[in-house]
Structure 1
Amino acid sequence: MTKLKVGAALMVADLKTHRDWLVDGQRDLEIQDFFSPNNLGDAAGDLITAAKNTLQGYSGRLGIHGPFYDLPLDCHDPEMRIIVQKRMQQALDIAAKLGATQMVLHSPYSTWDYHNLDSDLTSREAKISRVHETLSPVVARAEEYGVVLVIENIEDKNPFDRVILANSFNSDFVRVSLDTGHAHYAHGATGAPPVDYYVRAAGDRLAHIHLQDADGYADRHWAPGQGSINWQAAFEAIAEAASQARLVLELRDSNDVMSGFEHLLALGLAE
Structure 2
Amino acid sequence: MDSTSPNHGVDVPKAPRRHIPVALSTASVYPLSVHDGFAVAADLGYDGVEVLVTHNGDSQDSSALNRLAERYEQPILAIHAPTLLLTQQVWGSAWNKVQRSAQMAVDVGAEVVVVHPPFRWQNGYAETFAQGVRDIADAFGVRIAVENMYPWRVRGREALAYLPHWDPVRMDYQDVTWDFSHAATADASSLYAVRALGSRLRHVHLTDGISPSTKDQHLVPGRGTQECVEVLQHIAHNGFDGAVVAEVSTRKAKGAGQREEWLAETLEFARVHLGQTAP
The answer to whether the superposition gives a TM-score over 0.5 is: yes
Cα displacement (A) at 1:9: 1.5
1:148 equivalent among 143, 151, 165: 143
Alignment partner of 2:192: what SS? Answer: helix
| Cα pair distance change 1:145/1:40, threshold 3 Å | farther
Q: Does 1:229 align with 2:249?
A: no
Q: Is the 8 A contact 2:133 2:144 kept in 1?
A: no
Unaligned runs of 5+ residues in structure 1 are 72-81, 111-126, 168-173
The normalised TM-score by structure 1 is 0.67
| Cα pair distance change 1:21/1:86, threshold 3 Å | same
Partner of 1:98: 108
Q: Is the 8 A contact 1:5 1:270 kept in 2?
A: no
Q: How far apart in 2 are the matches of 1:265 and 1:95? A: 26
Q: Is the 8 A contact 1:156 1:186 kept in 2?
A: yes
The normalised TM-score by structure 2 is 0.66
Partner of 2:197: 202
Q: How far apart in 1 are the matches of 2:272 and 2:79? A: 28
Unaligned runs of 5+ residues in structure 2 are 1-13, 27-33, 87-91, 153-164, 251-258
| Cα pair distance change 1:49/1:241, threshold 3 Å | closer
Q: Is the 8 A contact 2:183 2:190 kept in 1?
A: yes
Partner of 2:82: 67
Q: How far apart in 1 are the matches of 2:172 and 2:48? A: 22
Q: How far apart in 1 are the matches of 2:66 and 2:270? A: 32
| Cα pair distance change 1:267/1:37, threshold 3 Å | closer
Identity of aligned residues (%): 23
Q: Does 1:13 align with 2:36?
A: yes
* Structure label with greater radius of gyration: 2
Q: Is the 8 A contact 1:109 1:162 kept in 2?
A: no
Q: Does 1:260 align with 2:275?
A: no
What one-letter code is carried by the residue in structure 1 that aligns with 2:84? Y
Cα displacement (A) at 1:229: 2.6
| Structure number with higher helix proportion | 1
Superposed CA RMSD in Å reads 3.7
- In the TM superposition, what are the counterparts of 1:9-158 in structure 2 within 5 Å? 9-10=25-26, 11-19=34-42, 22=45, 27-32=47-52, 34=53, 36=54, 39=57, 44=61, 47-56=64-73, 58=74, 62-70=77-85, 83-108=93-118, 131=126, 133-134=128-129, 136=131, 139-155=134-150
Deviations along 1:35-85, one digit per CA (max 9) or x if unpaired, are x256499x52564254334344x55x71111111359xxxxxxxxxx8111
Q: How far apart in 2 are the matches of 1:237 and 1:49? A: 33
Which one is further off, 237-246 or 92-101?
237-246
